[in-house]
Amino acid sequence: MQLHSISLINYKSFSSADFEFDEKINCFVGNNGVGKTNVLDAIYHLAFAKSYFNPITVQNIKHNEEFFVINGNFLKNEQEEKIVVSAKKGVQRVVKRNGKMYDRVSDHIGLIPLVIISPADRDLIIEGSDTRRKFLDGVISLSDSKYLIKLMTYNKLLQQRNALLKYFYMNRTFDSTALSVYDEQLVDLGSYIHATRTAFLESFTPIFRKYYQQISRSEEVVDIYYKADFNQRDPAQVLKDAQQKDMQLQYTSAGTHKDDLLFLLDDHAVKKFGSQGQQKSFLTALKLAQFEFIKQESGTVPILLLDDIFDKLDASRVAQIIDMVNDDQFGQLFISDTHPERTEAVIKQTQQSYKIFKL
């Protein structure tokens, strides 16, 4: 998978910009605030039809403008793919592939395999379970469209069940038959989601452990524990047991939408007991494992975006990542950094072709 070129109109800090890329390594260098991360985010936007840093589409339009347009020209399996993502205030975003607009934006997900490693990834450790579920579901959905459809259906049914619970509470009434219609569907879909997540983590976790050992060069044992209401419990009974609580809370308090991932280092929570270096290594290994998993599942080498990576990892950890690049595991890389000399010195070690864009 390669991105040949990209053009931006009114995207974030850019009024207009065009870039033509090297097939291997591309570096955006300059002071803070010049738009390095915005270019990486535009590339991410082409792959996922949304920003990595601000998923509210209209907020990515340049100030005092009415719209933005991102054009990208890719090469995938020797076939050209022209992707356009545009948005206008008051109008739904538009995603086009080779001039044809998608009926559903979700149909685009998975076409452009891509992984980003960013300082913002720390949210995976410090934020709530919703952030970790989104990561988990995002990786699975890239190679499993059936899973994505069932997940979206589950979330719609969940909203409807919550609306019904609120109606019961406001009107001091209860209809077990009406509630059971939603429960049966949520149990069926939730069981599928739970089983798929469990199978994914069984494959994903060993890859993650391998990368952590390579980056940290330590004997520390890392693990990912899947915390779920449906672990060793009957899904139908889970919803039934929570029914009285749901009536008081006016929302569904149990199910796969409450699942979480516990990140462990030597059987202790990384969030509480991991040093900054250990947390950074953990997150980088997590994203590199995502990269390898997508590569295995899709049969295509994803694009890799490294946002401010050299400021967030010490020299030894950066060296380990560069060694991986030299092993030709990776395809096209995009890097942002504030120090041009440091960046060029590091990428020269790879003996790969590269371009440096000074912003």
Q: What is the pLDDT of residue 130?
A: 96
What dotted CATH number matches 1-113+300-359?
3.40.50.300
CATH code of the domain made up of 125-297: 1.20.1050.90
Predicted local distance difference test score (pLDDT) of residue 326 = 65
Per-residue pLDDT at 276: 85
Handedness of CA 124, 129, 135, 136 (dihedral sign): positive
pLDDT at position 293? 93
* Structural contact between residues 117 and 307, judged by C-beta atoms closer than 8 angstroms: yes
Pick the closest to residue 139 from 292, 270, 305, 330 (CA basis). Answer: 292
pLDDT recorded at residue 339: 85
Using alpha carbons, select from 165, 154, 328, 342 the residue that is nearest to residue 246.
165
pLDDT at 169: 95
Cα–Cα dist 276/236, whole Å: 41
Boundaries of every domain in the chain: 1-113+300-359, 125-297
- pLDDT tens, 283-300? 989 999 999 999 998 889
pLDDT computed for residue 6 by the predictor: 98
User: Could you tell me which of 128, 135, 53, 124 has the C-alpha nearest to residue 279?
Assistant: 124
pLDDT of residue 48: 95
Considering the entire predicted model, what is its pTM? 0.89
pLDDT along the chain (359 residues), means of 10: 97 97 93 93 96 94 97 95 96 95 91 93 94 95 92 97 97 94 97 97 96 85 96 95 96 97 96 90 92 91 88 65 70 90 83 90
